[in-house]
Amino acid sequence: MRDFSGDTALLSLNTATVQAQWTLEQCIDGCARHGVGGIAPWRDKLAECGAARAAAMIRDAGLRVSGLCRGGMFPAATSAGRQAALDDNRKAIDDAATIGAECLILVVGGLPEGSKDIAGARMQVRDGIDALLDHSRAAGVPVAIEPLHPMYAADRACVNTLKQANDLCDALGGGVGVAVDVYHVWWDPDLEAEIARAGTAGRILGFHVCDWLVPTTDLLLDRGMMGDGAIDIPKIRGWVEAAGYSGTSEVEIFSKDNWWRRDADDVLTTCIERHQSAV
């Protein structure tokens, strides 16, 4: 595996990690001051800053943009709702192109309101991504399907395994890849094989890291810092790199009662330390 000791060039800060403390402008400045090589903005922070201004600041700071979070949320109960989702995703693609993002992360969406048809929701996801692809390909921004843990199947993402994401990529063709977030896929007994499958097709577009705390107090907002939980992150990183991935490790931590209450510079310092010791 690559040697991360003393090297922060391949660390990327997902702005969710310090979303309670810093604006996007502060995140960019913080990455520059700490020598972090990459950044992955969330769209709410990007909207506050403005895509053109953010692009200039990111460029001036010498940062790579490992991804833009997030597009997706395709399923809807009405055709108007599905069209609104497509319009929003096209705007996300345009913003991703403006800031030079390496991909747009897709959190695909769960069940439409009032529905119990998860197979139908998954078909809407496939159709939604398919309808987006002409725009994303023209913009030069690949889309990365991020499978989420099954606990989010109803409300956030009905694509829950890397196999499902790989199957979608096979069906949809070029310009579609996957993001491997250890928080969501670490439990999967087929993970190693599916990472290898994704790597053979050259479709691993992102690698996201944090940890699964035991016990966890909130299924969304209690992610752990790398090394504090149950995930064997180095093993998964080894699989991802053996599959040909050479991009950043993107730290994405939602932590309302811990890391969001700490000084943001201290959080970033810890991210750097754990990237070297626990990733």
pLDDT digits (tens, 9 = 90+) for 40-60: 999 999 999 999 999 999 999
Mean pLDDT (whole number) for 188-201: 98
Structural domain contains residue 118: yes
**Residues sharing a CB contact under 8 Å with residue 163, sequence separation 6 or more, in sequence order:** 190, 194
Please tell me the distance from the alpha carbon of residue 41 to that of residue 219, in angstroms, as a whole number: 22
pLDDT band, very low/low/confident/very high, at 117 (cuts 50, 70, 90): very high
Give how far Cα 48 sits from Cα of 42, 53, 186, Å: 10, 10, 33
pLDDT single digits (tens) 75-89: 999 999 999 999 999
Q: Is residue 6 part of a domain?
A: no
Is residue 249 over pLDDT 90? yes
pLDDT band at 167 (very low <50, low <70, confident <90, very high): very high
Identify whether 137 is part of a domain: yes
| pTM over cut 0.85 | yes
Q: How far apart are CA 102 and CA 96, in angstroms?
A: 8
Residue at 1 is within a domain: no
pLDDT at 189 over 90: yes
Gyration radius (Cα) of the chain, Å: 18
| pLDDT at site 6 | 84
Residue 7 has pLDDT above 90, yes or no: no
Residue 5 has pLDDT above 90, yes or no: no
**Count of structural domains, the chain:** 1
pLDDT tens profile 208-228:
999 999 999 999 999 999 999
Tokens of 106: 């897709």
pLDDT of residue 168: 98
2 domain residue, yes or no: no
Residue 157 sits in a domain whose CATH number is 3.20.20.150
Residue-averaged pLDDT of the chain: 98
Of the chain, the percentage scoring pLDDT greater than 70 comes to 100
Q: How far is CA 171 from the centre of its chain?
A: 21
The answer to whether residue 3 is domain-embedded is no
Structural domain of 167 = 11-277
Report residue 196 CA to chain centroid gap.
19
- Report the pLDDT value the prediction gives residue 166, as an integer from 0 to 100: 98
- Reading the block at residue 275, the tokens are 């990237």
HSE (side-chain half, CA atoms, 13 Å) at 192: 8
